[in-house]
Structure 1
Amino acid sequence: MATGTEPRPSTTGGVREGNRAAIDAPHLRIDRWWLAPAATAAGLLAFIVYSTWRAFSNADYYAAPYVSPFYSPCLADNCRDMAGGPNWDLFGSWWGISPAIIVLIFPLSFRLTCYYYRKAYYRGFWASPPACAVAEPHKSYSGETRFPLILQNIHRYTFYVALLVAGVLTYDTVLSFRDEHHHWGHMGLGTIVFLVNIVLIWAYTFSCHSCRHIVGGRLRHFSKHPVRYRMWGWVGKLNARHMQLAWASLISVAVADFYVFLLASGAFSDPRLF
């Protein structure tokens, strides 16, 4: 008879501990459980390859009035070579490589530590675990308590960085309503691309779990904070679509960059709507 004082069994060996059920099969799932992590890995790998190419290309990232979201804000001195493209020049001429290397650090810090993206690349690339009810191949599990994964805890702070990034991209979207002569009233196909992208960027940012906690966390009584409760409800609805918004915004930012690349490389001219 159990007395309630027995020591808890060790779980350092994960599912391979001796106190686990003795089942010969590695798992009992009979569906195509591997499709989801394989598709996730393929999608993320495609974005990694594309963004790496564009980040190091250091060319074709400005076509008036559009600037690629991979290069905005352009912080390096060599941005002046891009046909009068925008330049904040916070870095001097000593910065000789692509200015996108500076820019992409900030949105990547937010996305790489995002709760959904952690699940996505943990499962897709590290098989940790590959799927529900499927044992991971690792013999032990330390979670996010050791370096480098302990750095995932900075996510709550990178949320504020993401707000700045979204603000800059919003500014770029507003400028997309100007023509190449800086006259307002322009609207091209690129303007639509930028509008869709910034809406998805903001929706993904606000759907973040950190945002939900900031809005409605650490409250004992929602009834005493009706405004924050209502905002918490709105963020909660977005949070329920966090996965879809994460993918949609990832695709939209790549599409916006590729559209600018096509214009800047002379593939075609931006169709003007009015």
Structure 2
Amino acid sequence: MTSSSATTPTNRPRGARARAAIAAKTLRTDRWWLPPLITVIGLSAWIAYATVRVFMHKWYWVEEFHYLTPFYSPCVTDRCIPEASHFGQYLPGWWIIPDAAFTLPFLLLFRLTCYYYRKAYYRSFWLSPPACAVPDGHTTYGGETRFPLIVQNSHRYFFYFAVIISLINSWDAVLAFHSPEGFGFGLGNLILLGNVVMLWGYTISCHSCRHIIGGRLKHFSKHPVRYRAWTFVSWLNVRHMQLAWITLGTLALTDFYVMSVAAGWISDLRFIN
């Protein structure tokens, strides 16, 4: 006697139609490969530029206007220019040690474990998967339960370090208004300030920040201040991807501008003093 749930030799329920035999990996005809390609090019170019600048060890400080590039903040090796070392010099000036060795690792880990960046480099560099309705480039998937991907679960802790680093960058931007000649204001100040604003936008739009502010609340009506903060962070959170890319641009722009002024390639446009 056969039950109503009996299956055919192909393990299909009776009456079910067979899956279409398609030789192609995907039937998508649009340029689904373009976003992953752009991501690879964009991130690779930024990483190449940042790596060269971090280990260049020069043209990071403008003494005349107290401009310090965020790639070297805080400058903590004994190779740093003393005036640029706002928090002291604690590390030896070996070539292999970045001058901002206390902050760069945490910034890197904050971005690597960021929910958006995971999606970006999983799809582009790892092809896992490269796009919707496109097969994964790997035959197996181990999840984020083993090293090194288990580190992704520490993103919430790297967020706290990112807040501290944003505070340091904000302090650098404030100090840049006070040059040896007194209060001053130039194009470099605008660039430094704009970079800090964008960095704060990216940092507090983080999913971890949103959860910290309101994720555990059961009654928003009892916490009106936190609710307003949560709604603001939620508004930023929708724009987290755009802010992630914008801050890569503002960081590179700020560093290149400070480098150009420090190297004497261009002069800073001054509005006051």
CA distance in 1, matches of 2:108, 2:93: 24
1:212 aligns with 2:204: no
1:170 aligns with 2:131: no
Shift of 1:226: 2.1
Instruction: Map 1:26-175 onto structure 2 (within 5 A).
Output: 26-64=25-63, 65-80=66-81, 84-93=83-92, 95-96=94-95, 97-175=97-175
The structure with the larger Rg is 2
CA distance in 2, matches of 1:77, 1:243: 37
Read off the aligned partner of 2:100 and give its amino acid letter.
Answer: A
Q: Is the 8 A contact 1:170 1:198 kept in 2?
A: yes
TM-score, normalised to structure 1, is 0.88
Q: Is the 8 A contact 2:76 2:85 kept in 1?
A: no
What percent of counterpart residues are identical?
A: 53
Read off the aligned partner of 2:130 and give its amino acid letter.
Answer: P
CA distance in 2, matches of 1:119, 1:193: 29
CA distance in 2, matches of 1:39, 1:159: 27
Q: 1:23-58 CA distances to partner (integer Å, 9 max, x unpaired)?
A: 322112111001101001110001000000001111
TM-score, normalised to structure 2, is 0.88
- Which ranges of structure 2 fall in alignment gaps of 5 or more residues? 7-17
Structure 1 residues 232, 21: CA separation in 2 closer, same or farther (over 3 Å shift)? farther
Instruction: Count residues in correspondence.
Output: 255
Shift of 1:202: 0.3
Q: 1:229-250 CA distances to partner (integer Å, 9 max, x unpaired)?
A: 2211111000000000000011
User: What's the C-alpha RMSD, in Å, of the aligned pairs?
Assistant: 1.9
1:195 aligns with 2:196: no
- Which ranges of structure 1 fall in alignment gaps of 5 or more residues? 4-18
CA distance in 1, matches of 2:155, 2:214: 17
Q: Is the 8 A contact 2:39 2:124 kept in 1?
A: yes
Q: 1:69-115 CA distances to partner (integer Å, 9 max, x unpaired)?
A: 0110111111137xx43353342446554313443112111111100
CA distance in 2, matches of 1:51, 1:197: 16
Q: 1:145-166 CA distances to partner (integer Å, 9 max, x unpaired)?
A: 1110110111000010000010
Query: More deviation in 104-113 or 219-228?
Result: 219-228
CA distance in 2, matches of 1:112, 1:121: 9
Q: Is the 8 A contact 2:103 2:165 kept in 1?
A: no
Structure 1 residues 217, 20: CA separation in 2 closer, same or farther (over 3 Å shift)? farther
Read off the aligned partner of 1:43 and give its amino acid letter.
Answer: G
CA distance in 1, matches of 2:155, 2:168: 20
Query: More deviation in 238-247 or 22-31?
Result: 22-31
Structure 1 residues 54, 140: CA separation in 2 closer, same or farther (over 3 Å shift)? same
CA distance in 1, matches of 2:19, 2:92: 61
CA distance in 1, matches of 2:31, 2:260: 38
Q: What stretches of structure 1 move > 6 A for 4+ residues in a row? A: none
CA distance in 2, matches of 1:106, 1:254: 18
Q: 1:111-168 CA distances to partner (integer Å, 9 max, x unpaired)?
A: 1110001111111111111011111120011121111011011100001000001000
